[in-house]
Amino acid sequence: SQQGEEDPQALSIQEGENATMNCSYKTSINNLQWYRQNSGRGLVHLILIRSNEREKHSGRLRVTLDTSKKSSSLLITASRAADTASYFCAPDTGRRALTFGSGTRLQVQP
């Protein structure tokens, strides 16, 4: 399967804390992407990390990639109530389509 598997399935934290989500995959990739989905909405692309990169930052987001372990992590620092959403990883193998797992549901308590 080309899809990523997110862990944990659900995460509840307090506002201001950091949230870490993990992704594992099984195939060789060109890049790995993270998406966010707010309730009832379409997915929104957050960040892309290429296979030759180990770490990437975007605002409060930090993504790491370990191709030897076929894993990635998404860290959201200083979380806000507005970060409450589901987060999905998508390994991009260059085969035209992405597949998505069931995601991590993040709840940030105000």
Partner 1 sequence: DAGITQSPRHKVTETGTPVTLRCHQTENHRYMYWYRQDPGHGLRLIHYSYGVKDTDKGEVSDGYSVSRSKTEDFLLTLESATSSQTSVYFCAISEGLQGSYEQYFGPGTRLTVT
Question: What single DSSP character describes residue 41?
Answer: S
Q: Does 65 bind partner 1 (CB under 8 A)?
A: no
Query: E strand or H helix at 110, and its extent?
Result: none
Tell which positions 76-105 bind partner 1, by CB under 8 A: 88, 90, 92, 94, 96-103
Distance CA 66, CA 6 (A): 15
Contact present, 81 and 110 (Cβ < 8 Å): yes
Q: Does 71 bind partner 1 (CB under 8 A)?
A: no
Distance CA 87, CA 23 (A): 10
User: 20 or 93, CB closer to partner 1?
Assistant: 93
Q: Does 33 bind partner 1 (CB under 8 A)?
A: yes
| Contact residues: partner 1, CB under 8 A | 3, 30-31, 33, 35, 40-45, 48, 88, 90, 92, 94, 96-103
